[in-house]
């Protein structure tokens, strides 16, 4: 029996565009339909002027609002976009060499050591569950990509280990201290398997960790792993343009020189453009006015491009972890349309008016599909491109939500490539840093994250937590058992 055959001309590619086109921001609908635009708010101009001053504060890197343990956490702004070409060359060379010697690559990390990397890979290569199904030739000789250590689900971890069995595997473990439990467990499992499988196990492991201290750094020195440094002045969620992101991206065939060029381009735009033409400053100000003056609580981060789902999830961490302090901050909810147009879309359209929405639009989607629909219920679409129909529905959601009372704005990405993604990350990191500072917060600390770790460490038997565990058990015994049914 003949196999499945796609007719010639069904799959197409978009027109090539200049690779260094700037991202644009469309905020025409950021207000109430038929009512005032956010820029007409009485406090908007004052807030925008404050943002310009706060941007100078970021560049100076001296304020207490920027410090974590005495270090100004602004390296993502002052250093990462300006990394020396020689350093990029060395990372590229190492990444390509490792890629040629392995079948599968496992990146171990959590939070900021994970989300930006995966988001970038999936934006460029497509969802990993599909990318990994391609042949090595179809993948351009890029190893299959896997991520562990971002959770502790036993079934998922076991399945990945089964899939890796019998393959040639390389590992990139990313942890500043080496003590974060989720990646530490995943790496411990992989390390043992590697050492039992290969005489050159150490050469297959690359650690991205602290420059001089911590459990992972000590282990790397003892075992002879190649290492890259997590900068002291870069926090996890702001780290994708640092070695935290760059080595894994290099192994996955991403042009990290273009990636950093995009970040540098966006940083220079943020420094040079006046506030009223400055994407990061405008977005920070609009989010602030919406939250503080219009009582909005949620920012919906939406896209109709499957490859950008991970980018909206990166936004979900960047915003709330930076702003979620002192009873303030916008919750960020990722939405993929049109999949969620019926579910969460109903709430966005007609639920409580407590949200704003930011769309990620793409002008040139790259690969496209020509619709053949004669004799079907959608025959009126015959001969059209799937991208144009998809865009019509995304535009429809945007317009309907705006008419329904949701202020919306749209990032307009010229295309999906390394330069554009670097540009986007830098713009959004500036946005969130400025937005947090507008709220009077330090956007670079996350004191609330430690609480669950302390409880979990005690419950899992970490040495030194015995007293804390006893207190927890005493408190649990006071809970009324009648509320278990």
Regarding beta strands 331-336 and 367-369, do their DSSP bridges make them parallel or antiparallel, or are they unpaired? Answer: unpaired
Q: How far apart are the first and last CA of the chain?
A: 56
Whole-prediction pTM: 0.96
69-86 pLDDT, tens per residue? 999 999 999 999 999 999
Mean pLDDT of 253-266: 98
453 part of the active site: yes
280-299 pLDDT, tens per residue? 999 999 999 999 999 999 99
Cα distance between residue 95 and residue 206, in whole Å: 10
276 part of the active site: no
Which of 267, 321, 357, 428 is the catalytic position?
A: 321
336-356 pLDDT, tens per residue? 999 999 989 999 999 999 999
Q: Which pLDDT belongs to residue 18?
A: 54
Across all residues in the chain, what is the average pLDDT? Answer: 96
- Where does 165-214 have alpha helices with state H? 181-197
Task: Give the chain's domains with CATH numbers.
Answer: 11-68+260-438 (3.40.50.10490), 76-257 (3.40.50.10490)
Q: What is the DSSP letter of 31?
A: B
DSSP track, 56-122: HHHHHT-SGGGEETTEE--HHHHTGGG--HHHHHHHHHHHHHHHHH-SEEEEE--GGGTHHHHHHHH
Cα distance between residue 37 and residue 27, in whole Å: 9
Q: Which pLDDT belongs to residue 315?
A: 98
Q: Look at 81-85, 110-114, 296-300, 425-429 and tell me which has the smallest mean pLDDT.
A: 110-114
- Is the pLDDT at 456 greater than 90? The verdict is no
Which of 342, 477, 478, 482 is the catalytic position?
A: 342
Confidence of residue 114 (pLDDT cuts 50, 70, 90): very high
Q: Are 351 and 404 in contact (CB under 8 A)?
A: no
Q: Which pLDDT belongs to residue 454?
A: 84
Other residues' Cβ atoms within 10 Å of the Cβ of residue 206? 24
Does an H or E element contain 257, and which? Answer: helix 256-272
Cα distance between residue 47 and residue 382, in whole Å: 50
Handedness of CA 119, 122, 123, 125 (dihedral sign): positive
- Is the pLDDT at 43 greater than 90? The verdict is yes
Q: Which pLDDT belongs to residue 457?
A: 87
Which of 94, 384, 385, 453 is the catalytic position?
A: 453
Q: Are 356 and 406 in contact (CB under 8 A)?
A: yes
Cα distance between residue 211 and residue 176, in whole Å: 9
| All residues at 6 or more sequence positions from 325 whose CB lies less than 8 Å from its CB, including other chains | 441, 442, 447, 448
Q: Which pLDDT belongs to residue 196?
A: 97
- Is the pLDDT at 16 greater than 60? The verdict is no
Q: Which pLDDT belongs to residue 1?
A: 60
267 part of the active site: no
Mean pLDDT of 150-157: 97
Extract the tokens encoding 210. Answer: 């602290």
Distance from the Cα of residue 62 to its chain's centroid? 27
Q: Which pLDDT belongs to residue 365?
A: 92
| All residues at 6 or more sequence positions from 181 whose CB lies less than 8 Å from its CB, including other chains | 152, 453, 456, 457, 460
Percent of the chain with pLDDT over 70: 99
């Amino acid at each position: 029996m003949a196999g499945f055959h796609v007719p010639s001309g069904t799959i197409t590619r978009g027109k090539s565009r200049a690779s260094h086109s700037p991202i644009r921001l469309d905020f025409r609908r950021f207000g109430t339909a038929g009512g005032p635009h956010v820029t007409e708010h009485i406090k908007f101009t004052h807030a925008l002027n404050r943002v310009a001053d706060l941007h100078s504060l970021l560049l100076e890197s001296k304020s207490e609002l920027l410090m974590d343990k005495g270090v100004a956490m602004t390296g993502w702004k002052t250093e990462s976009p300006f990394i020396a070409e020689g350093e990029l060359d060395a990372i590229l060379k190492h990444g390509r060499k490792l890629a040629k010697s392995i079948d599968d690559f496992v990146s171990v990390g959590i939070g900021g050591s994970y989300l930006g990397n995966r988001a970038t890979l999936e934006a460029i290569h497509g969802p990993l569950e599909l990318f990994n199904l391609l042949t090595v030739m179809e993948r351009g000789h890029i190893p299959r990509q896997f991520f562990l250590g971002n959770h502790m689900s036993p079934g998922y971890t076991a399945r990945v280990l089964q899939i890796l069995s019998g393959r040639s595997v390389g590992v990139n473990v990313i942890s500043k201290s080496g003590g974060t439990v989720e990646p530490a467990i995943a790496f411990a499992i992989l390390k043992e398997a590697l050492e039992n499988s290969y005489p050159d196990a150490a050469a297959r492991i690359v650690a991205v960790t602290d420059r001089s201290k911590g459990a992972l750094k000590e282990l790397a020195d003892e075992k002879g792993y190649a290492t890259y440094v997590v900068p002291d002045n870069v926090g996890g969620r702001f780290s994708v343009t640092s070695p935290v992101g760059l080595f894994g991206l290099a192994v996955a065939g991403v042009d990290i020189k273009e990636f950093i060029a995009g970040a540098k381009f966006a940083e220079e735009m943020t420094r040079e453009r006046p506030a009223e033409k400055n994407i990061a400053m405008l977005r920070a100000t609009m989010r602030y006015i919406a939250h503080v003056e219009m009582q909005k609580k949620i920012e919906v981060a939406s896209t109709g491009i499957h490859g950008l789902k991970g980018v909206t999830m990166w936004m979900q961490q960047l915003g709330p972890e930076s702003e979620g302090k002192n009873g303030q901050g916008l919750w960020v909810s990722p939405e993929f349309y049109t999949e969620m147009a019926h579910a969460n879309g109903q709430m966005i359209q007609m639920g409580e008016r407590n949200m704003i929405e930011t769309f990620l639009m793409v002008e040139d989607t790259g690969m496209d599909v020509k619709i053949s629909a004669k004799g079907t219920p959608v025959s009126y679409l015959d001969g059209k491109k799937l991208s144009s129909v998809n865009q019509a529905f995304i535009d429809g959601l945007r317009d309907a939500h705006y008419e329904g009372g949701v202020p919306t704005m749209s990032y307009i990405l010229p295309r999906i490539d390394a330069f554009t993604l670097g540009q986007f990350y830098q713009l959004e990191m500036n946005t969130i840093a400025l937005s947090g500072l507008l709220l009077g917060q330090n956007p670079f600390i996350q004191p609330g994250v430690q609480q669950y770790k302390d409880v979990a460490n005690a419950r899992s038997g970490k040495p030194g937590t015995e007293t804390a565990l006893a207190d927890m058990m005493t408190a649990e015994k006071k809970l009324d058992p009648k509320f278990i049914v």
